[in-house]
Structure 1
């Protein structure tokens, strides 16, 4: 598993997460069955991979084509479920791992040659932040989809999504700064703020509990993984 701390893997992981969760808008996700929109996403993967590697356009192009192939299978052939989402991301990560193992010196021969040890900590923190917050949203949303029709609490449009992003971001930050006990206060605060709503309806109560535990669990898993990865990096 040494490839996890290698420069090619971390560089391409950052590019992947930026392409999938920062530069891919909700509109693009909703219209991804359109070949032009899918191609636009592939272009983003290519450009971000070139930037992350400091060149090597041919490798970035190959990666973008494989990425498009994986996305095409998911969009055109598979149902939109949590399992499909996780399998899709696992396939992308496997692609990055294969490239990192096959070409371990990829970053060292690009524009970032000699600067990898300085850049990698920032790449880990950025990747972890995106994975904990933005990547966690679809995962939790797909998990909760089966309950949404019967127990969706009334509220502002997209408020639940924003709350989820903020709580996962705070959890990620607390773990990184070594204050995981603060997560207990976050749980208590959310319980107090939601008490009036959930106390009146058992279905809503259970919906909120499941969603909260899923969101917190995702953020904790990513946060501790990112922290362990950062500690394992070679010294600058």
Structure 2
């Protein structure tokens, strides 16, 4: 189980933090011949090798697991470039990657990893890995999911943007401030839920409403009001579910000694 979460963390870091926007654009344009795709797969190769080596050494199982993960990732990403950037293809893509990691870990579960686990037990407790995975997912992956869910409404917002541009030209928001507000909001909600402080979630929503609704009333734009409310509700709902998932997983470990 420890190996699976380490590989999952590698996947999240390589897919959403190391991968650059220019690589993604190159993949979309050149598909399987893309240099960006090669760089992306190379980053997965390096990070997965670092994680797998202490568990398996330079054994046939090591090379089999490494090339299975990397080559399937390459194939899945090629498929993704032909599907377009939609919620359904994104979820299928990510689910397939995680499933491959789970199957690889299930196959190599027989080798003795007790010694390596003992060395890293103080640094890679399963509780810590679960929380880290939850927080990594709540940042960019969840932001992308919410963006895809709201994509239809975003088009409606753009349709009326020109009409309101002259009235709002001096009232623009801070660059990327909305994105950071959403990220911090989800992190706080997850922390409150994991601590069992559900009142803190209510306080956070109330505090945000005081500022948001005053701003939305001044703009007198019903579409913008509904759009912001939808984004906030999706963000908070997903954050609550992630917090509950983390509490359940950690509680199950504490109760049974295993996940």
Instruction: Answer yes or no: same fold by TM over 0.5.
Output: yes
Q: Distance in 2 between matches of 1:196 and 1:42?
A: 47
1:89 matched to 2:89: no
Partner of 1:121: 127
* Residues 179 and 53 of structure 1, relative CA distance in 2, 3 Å threshold: farther
1:197-224 deviation digits (Å, cap 9, x = unpaired) = 3231111111011111111122222222
* Residues 107 and 158 of structure 1, relative CA distance in 2, 3 Å threshold: farther
Please give the residue correspondences for 1:135-154 in structure 2 after superposition, counting only pairs within 5 Å: 135-151=141-157, 154=172
Unaligned runs of 5+ in 1: 1-5
CA contact (8 A) 2:10 2:47 kept: yes
Q: CA deviation at 1:137?
A: 0.8
Partner of 1:39: 38
Q: Distance in 2 between matches of 1:107 and 1:225?
A: 29
Q: Distance in 2 between matches of 1:157 and 1:30?
A: 22
* Residues 19 and 107 of structure 1, relative CA distance in 2, 3 Å threshold: farther
* Residues 217 and 27 of structure 1, relative CA distance in 2, 3 Å threshold: farther
Unaligned runs of 5+ in 2: 57-61, 162-171
- Give SS of 1:80's match: coil
Partner of 2:116: 112
1:16 matched to 2:34: no
Partner of 2:59: none
1:159 matched to 2:165: no
- Give SS of 2:27's match: coil
Q: CA deviation at 1:60?
A: 2.2
CA contact (8 A) 1:81 1:142 kept: yes
Partner of 1:225: 245
Q: CA deviation at 1:135?
A: 1.4
Q: Distance in 2 between matches of 1:7 and 1:201?
A: 50
